[in-house]
């Protein structure tokens, strides 16, 4: 680890001692740094790192909160993939859900941020608020339940009936055909969050003179501008936004629960996250639930690695 | 390329076509309507008197607006054995404690990671970035085990304490400190004999006010919107959001009251955001992740 020039207190000459001695000395010299980090780090380790590690260990056992756990090897995993049809269904649903909401929300955030970038500041602030508000307003998505209410007081049913497209009310959230698309729409509605703001900010920091220089160099339209200048310049924001979008795409369980109840009709909107809560929170099969959690971790990290690779190709 | 540049004064006019501008405006209006109308409908519903709630077809406007739904909120849940104000208190209490704790702990950690160089710094930051990559609900089962080992199940602590170590705020604060607090300023404070903690408190913190606000809204957003927690089962510890769900399950007659509760709930974070929008965008300017 390199030392910055700015540290004047008791400089240590690295060459005089072994690596471990040097590290120890540096640690002692930076005592304050560790003290300042400690409160956060301890909580972070206890409530974030430890649960992950514990999941990995418990996934290899048959722990049930009551008896002393036995080591069962990969049995939980083989059971998941070979004997649990609902898990396979949950995997399909999760992939459909995440593969639509993740990319669509990401692209939408980026496009809208880009569209509004050239608006006058006051108008831009208002438009930003309109797009961002649903993501910070908590359970406001419950209004979709009123709009798509299963009786004729729901706006959608009433409109369909008034126009004669439908003779009786549709039970939107109790129909396996409609549950998934509806949840996706609502999830997208709430999804323009921190990534969206990050894109707006990223676009704001790009120097206008870069575009002028590009115009001189023969960039012909706004799409070329976007691809050759805007996107490569804001690659760090694109990366940050991607991480958040992936995380979000797998975390819409609460939206689904609130709209469709749990379990959803015919498991039509049952995701891996629901399967996890089911086994962990209801049936107390902690070992089995941990195996589900481990699979989710692998999927999320896998997505992050793939996206990182893809983003490094932007603007080439 | 033999393209003729258009100029106005000394500025190059950028490549913009009328068709493109029109298309973009059109798309923005469509998407904006999709985002805005449901929010608008909540407000309309909350102002509808009972007879208008039962009107067919439901209207997108109010004929005779009234605040009865808001007044009803306090009487509606009167027969449940926890007074309605208790839910509000719980939400406010949890939000304030968690946000203040997060602000203090995360700022100290952010300063340490951004401005001090010590063994393990990179590894710790990598770990924090990794934590942004998965949704915390994946951890719910083992999280529960840990909370019960502490004996914190069914207490405020089960929600407040873990929220103090939310990594998003720390990440944004650290990135912002790196880009906007110059090392030379800190160095001159140290040369004047200020301790590291004092430098942090009196020099660095006042320089990163926009990041505080961003951290506050990030933390606030999570806690304020916390619904029924799986770690809390006593009625008197449950949140306002949980109460909204209960009201709504009362059906169409209650939908006005539920909308009123939702309006109360959404006004606060929206107000916080509106007041601080420019600061938050400023902080986000340094939010990028280097690969």
> How does pLDDT run across A16-61, given as a tens digit for each residue?
678 888 888 888 888 889 999 999 999 999 999 999 999 999 999 9
The per-residue pLDDT of chain A, averaged, comes to: 87
Mean local confidence (pLDDT), B158-181:
93
**∠A275-A278-A283 over CA atoms, to 5°?**
135
Residue A7 above 50 pLDDT? Answer: no
Per the structure, the complete domain to which residue A161 belongs is given by: 85-271+293-311
**What are the pLDDT digits (tens) for A52-83?**
999 999 999 998 888 888 899 889 999 999 99
Backbone angles phi, psi at B7, to 5 degrees: -130, 150
Q: Which of B29, B128, B284, B291 to mutate to test the interface with A (most CBs of A within 10 A)?
A: B284
Q: Which residues of B touch A34 (CB under 8 A)?
A: 112, 118
Quick one: pLDDT at residue A187?
93
Q: Which residue in A has a C-alpha nearest to residue B116's C-alpha? A: A33
Task: With beta carbons less than 8 A apart as the criterion, state whether B143 and B230 touch.
Answer: no
Q: What's the pLDDT tens digit per position in A169-191?
A: 788 888 888 889 999 999 999 99
Mean pLDDT value across chain B: 86
B-chain residues near A286 (CB < 8 A): 141, 145
Neighbours of B7 (CB within 10 A): 11
Contact A143 B38 (CB under 8 A): yes
Residue B156: what are its φ and ψ, rounded to 5°?
-60, -35
Task: Give the per-residue pLDDT at A4.
Answer: 47
Q: Residue B60 — very low, low, confident or very high, per pLDDT cuts 50/70/90?
A: confident
Query: Which carries the bigger pLDDT value, residue A289 or residue A253?
Result: A289
Please state whether the peptide bond connecting residue B57 to the residue before it is cis, i.e. omega within 30 degrees of 0.
yes
Q: How far is A137 from chain B (nearest CA, A)?
A: 5
Q: Give ipTM to 2 decimals.
A: 0.88
- pLDDT number for residue A202: 92
Residue A165: predicted pLDDT? 80
Gap between the Cα atoms of A19 and A24, Å rounded: 9
Q: What was the pLDDT predicted at B85?
A: 81
Nearest CA in chain A to B139: A51
Q: Do B136 and A250 touch (CB under 8 A)?
A: no
Q: What local confidence, expressed as pLDDT, does residue A16 receive?
A: 65
* Token couple for A183: 């949840």
Of the given ranges (B52-61, B75-84, B119-128), which has the lowest mean pLDDT? B75-84
pLDDT at B15: 64
Q: pTM for this structure?
A: 0.88
3-state secondary structure A237-249: HHHHHHHHHHHHH
| pLDDT (mean) for B284-289 | 90
Domain ranges of chain B: 39-70, 81-255
Q: What is the pLDDT of residue B160?
A: 92
For residue A111, the model assigns a pLDDT of 92
Cα Dmax for chain B: 79
Q: Is the pLDDT of residue A150 over 80?
A: no
Q: How far is A268 from chain B (nearest CA, A)?
A: 21
CA distance linking residue A300 with residue A298, whole number of Å = 6
Residue A54 lies in a domain: no
Chain B residue numbers touching A224 (CB-CB < 8 A): 15
CB contact under 8 A, B35 and A192: yes
**Cα separation, B68 vs B210, whole angstroms:** 39
- Give me the residue from A40, A189, A211 closest to B108, CB to CB: A40
CATH number assigned to the domain comprising residue A238: 1.10.3720.10
Total Cβ atoms within 10 A of residue B223: 22
If you count them, how many residues does chain B have?
291
Q: Is the pLDDT of residue A6 over 50?
A: no
Q: Are A235 and B288 in contact (CB under 8 A)?
A: yes
The enclosing H or E element of B11 equals strand B11-12
Give backbone dihedrals phi and psi of B60, rounded to 5 degrees, phi first: -90, 15
Q: Is A5's pLDDT higher than 60?
A: no
**B66: exposed, middle or buried (Cβ count in 10 Å: 0-12, 13-18, 19+):** middle
User: Residue-wise over B116-130: b if at least 16 C-beta within 10 A, else e?
Assistant: bbbbbbeebbebbbb
Predicted confidence at residue A140, as pLDDT, reads 85
- Cβ neighbourhood burial of B60 (10 Å; 0-12, 13-18, 19+): exposed
Q: pLDDT value at position A164?
A: 79
Q: Average pLDDT of A235-254?
A: 90
Mutate which: A10, A46, A48, vs B, most B CBs within 10 A: A48
pLDDT at B249 over 90: no
Q: Which CATH class is domain B81-255?
A: mainly alpha
- For residue B1, is pLDDT > 50? no
- H helices of chain A, in order, are 19-29, 31-44, 50-58, 75-83, 85-116, 121-136, 143-147, 155-162, 176-189, 194-204, 208-216, 222-225, 231-233, 235-249, 253-260, 272-277, 286-311
Nearest CB neighbour to B108, from listed A6, A9, A39: A39
- CB within 8 Å of B274: residues ≥ 6 apart: A129
Confidence of residue B248 (pLDDT cuts 50, 70, 90): confident
Classify residue A61: in a domain, yes or no. Answer: no
State the Cα–Cα distance between residues B241 and B225, nearest whole angstrom.
7
Q: What pLDDT is attached to residue A251?
A: 85
d(CA B160, CA B95): 8
- Quick: pLDDT tens for B131-153: 998 888 888 889 889 999 999 98
3-class secondary structure, B171: helix
User: Which residues lie across from A71 on neighbouring strands?
Assistant: A61
Assess contact for A304 and A246: CB atoms under 8 A: yes
Distance, in Å, from the CA atom of B224 to the CA atom of B269, rounded to the nearest integer, reads 8
Cα–Cα distances (Å) from B160 to A6, A226, B147, B156, B215, in that order, read 38, 43, 12, 6, 16
The secondary structure element, H or E, covering residue B7 is: strand B7-8
Q: How confident is the model at residue A196 (pLDDT cuts 50, 70, 90)?
A: very high
Asked if residue B67 has pLDDT above 90, the reply is: no
């Amino acid at each position: 680890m390199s030392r910055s020039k700015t540290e004047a207190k008791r400089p240590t000459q690295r060459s005089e001692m072994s690596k471990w001695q040097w590290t120890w000395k540096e640690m002692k010299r930076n005592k304050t740094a560790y003290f300042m980090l400690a409160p956060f780090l301890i909580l972070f380790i206890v409530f974030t790192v430890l649960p992950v590690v514990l999941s990995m260990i418990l996934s290899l056992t048959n722990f049930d909160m009551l008896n002393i756990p036995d080591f069962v090897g990969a049995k939980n995993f083989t059971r998941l993939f070979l004997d649990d049809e609902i898990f396979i269904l949950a995997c399909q649903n999760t992939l459909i859900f995440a593969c639509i909401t993740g990319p669509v929300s990401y692209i939408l955030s980026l496009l809208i941020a880009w569209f509004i970038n050239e608006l006058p500041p006051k108008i831009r602030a208002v438009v930003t608020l309109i797009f961002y508000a649903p993501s910070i307003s908590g359970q406001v998505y419950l209004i979709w339940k009123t709009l798509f209410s299963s009786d004729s007081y729901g706006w959608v049913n009433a409109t369909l009936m008034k126009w004669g497209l439908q003779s009786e009310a549709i039970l939107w959230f109790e129909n396996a055909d409609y549950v998934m698309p509806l949840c996706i729409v609502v999830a997208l509605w709430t999804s323009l969050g921190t990534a969206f703001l990050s894109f707006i900010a990223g676009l704001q920091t790009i120097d206008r003179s870069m575009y002028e220089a590009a115009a001189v160099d023969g960039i012909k339209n706004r799409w070329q501008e976007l691809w050759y200048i805007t996107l490569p310049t804001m690659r760090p924001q694109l990366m940050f936004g991607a991480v958040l979008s992936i995380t979000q795409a797998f975390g819409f369980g609460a939206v689904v629960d609130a709209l469709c109840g749990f379990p959803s009709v015919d498991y039509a909107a049952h995701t891996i996250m629901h399967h996890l809560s089911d086994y962990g929170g209801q049936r107390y099969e902690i070992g089995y639930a941990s195996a589900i959690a481990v699979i989710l971790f692998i999927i999320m990290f896998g997505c992050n690695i793939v996206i990182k690779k893809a983003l490094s190709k932007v603007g080439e | 390329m033999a393209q003729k540049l258009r100029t106005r004064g000394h500025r190059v006019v950028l490549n913009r076509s009328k068709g493109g501008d029109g298309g973009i405006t059109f798309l923005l209006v469509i998407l904006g309507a999709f985002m805005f109308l449901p929010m608008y409908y909540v407000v309309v519903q909350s102002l509808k008197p009972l007879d208008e709630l039962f009107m067919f077809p439901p209207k997108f406007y109010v004929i005779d607006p009234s605040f009865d739904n808001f007044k009803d909120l306090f009487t509606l849940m009167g027969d449940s054995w926890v007074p309605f104000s208790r839910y509000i208190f719980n939400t406010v209490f949890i939000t304030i404690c968690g946000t203040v704790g997060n602000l203090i702990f995360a700022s100290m950690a952010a300063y340490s990671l951004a401005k001090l160089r010590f063994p393990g710094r990179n590894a710790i930051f990598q770990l924090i970035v990794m934590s942004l990559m998965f949704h915390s609900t994946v951890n719910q089962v083992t999280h529960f085990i840990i909370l019960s080992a502490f004996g914190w199940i069914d207490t405020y602590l089960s929600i407040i304490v873990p929220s103090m170590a939310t990594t998003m705020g720390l990440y944004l604060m650290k990135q912002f400190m790196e880009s906007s607090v110059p090392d030379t300023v800190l160095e001159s404070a140290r040369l004047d004999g200020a301790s590291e903690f004092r430098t942090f408190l009196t020099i660095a913190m006042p320089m990163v006010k926009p990041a505080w606000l961003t951290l506050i809204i990030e933390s606030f957003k999570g806690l304020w919107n916390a619904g029924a927690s799986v770690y809390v089962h006593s009625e008197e510890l449950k949140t306002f959001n949980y109460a909204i769900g209960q009201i709504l399950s009362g059906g169409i007659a209650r939908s006005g009251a539920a909308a009123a509760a939702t309006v109360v709930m959404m006004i606060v974070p929206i107000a916080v955001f509106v007041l601080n929008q420019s600061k938050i965008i400023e902080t986000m300017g340094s939010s990028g992740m280097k690969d």
